[in-house]
Amino acid sequence: MSQRTLRFIRIALIVALAALLAGTSALADSVSVKLNASAKVYQSASGSARYIKAPKGLKVTLKAYAGGWGRISYKGRTGYIKLKYLDRVKPLKAYAAKSAAVYKDAGGSRKLTTIPAGTLVYAVGVDGSYVRVINKAGTRKGYIKADALSGEPVSSGGAPEDGDGGGSAVADTVPESLRSTTTSASDSRIEYTIYVAQNLIGVPYASDANPPKTFDCAKYANYCYGKAKSGALKGSSKAQGYDERYQKIEYDNLKRGDLVCFDTVSDDDLSDHVGIYLGSGYFLHASSAAKKVILSSLSSGYYKRTFSWGLRIFES
């Protein structure tokens, strides 16, 4: 591919990204944005122009854009700033048009996770060829290639979207990429646990659970891990979460097959609800709100906010 063609694609991409930032194909209307870091505001769109420093969090109005620069106004004054320093005050919904990698920075040097097609994210800004996104709660930030995102909902073929919390199901089946086909614990205890768990989606929730006809969250976890001959977990979600036989795992170090624990009740413990982690930000659990076994998102929303820790039930 020629350098001229690459340059044309880059220019077109910058325009598309800026349009995403603005929410329109052009800046017909001003857009309220804020600085995501302390940054220089220049007199013109040039790094050699005179500048002043503006603080992180300052809200300004984006009036126009070109070549990676934004023209902003603040209290009647005009200046120029790199678009990468600007976040929309009101994020835009965007959807993964395909399975997409989420990176820590716009250089794509460190991958945080991969999200399935159809996953809902919130776009706040642009940086080169990447869109800066946050989760619904605004507690996590990452960067996704622009060509992996769509402004319209995408059919996910069974892949989940960002859950809205409180026990809502995000899909009726486990996405193909996360399903297990292992039918024997002797082949893999982790995969067999997930095989058992995935085949119980839709089984009713009951506070007086009678497995396998009905489950609460703790008995669901106990039943699935028990089928893999790991030995019984303890009886309640609190006891399971504080079981010192198993290593505690932070969110960023979760692995497929871990028990995930949540602080969903205002009391003196941090493990009121449990589930089985599948990877890619999704887990299976028996939900009292959904009244059945469901698949939910741990990557953002309610369960991300209430996540306490994971437990490594199987080392391999």
Give residue-wise pLDDT tens across range 111-157.
888 777 778 888 888 887 888 998 777 778 889 988 888 776 654 43
pTM summary value: 0.49
pLDDT in tens, 220-234: 999 999 998 766 788
Residue 170 is predicted with a pLDDT of 53
Q: Round to the nearest angstrom and report the end-to-end CA distance of the chain.
A: 45
Residue 62 to residue 244: CA distance in whole angstroms:
53
Reduced to 3 states (helix: H, G, I; strand: E, B; else coil), residue 13 is: helix
> Which has the higher per-residue pLDDT, 149 or 66?
149
Q: Pick the residue with more confidence: 312 or 12?
A: 312
pLDDT tens-digit profile of 84-112?
Answer: 899 888 888 888 877 788 888 888 778 88
CA dihedral 131, 137, 141, 145 (to 10 degrees): -30
Query: What pLDDT shows up at residue 158?
Result: 33
294 contacts 163 by C-beta, under 8 angstroms = no
pLDDT bucket at 294, cuts 50 / 70 / 90: very high
Give the 3-state secondary structure of residue 196.
helix
CA pair distance 20, 315, nearest whole angstrom: 43
pLDDT score recorded for residue 316: 67
How far is it, in rounded angstroms, from Cα 306 to Cα 298? 9
pLDDT of residue 135: 79
Instruction: Supply the pLDDT for residue 167.
Output: 44
**Averaged pLDDT, 252-275:** 89
pLDDT at 305 over 70: yes
Other Cβ atoms within 10 Å of 248 Cβ, number: 15
Rounded to whole angstroms, how far apart are CA atoms 126 and 142? 11
Provide the pLDDT for residue 163: 28
pLDDT number for residue 5: 39
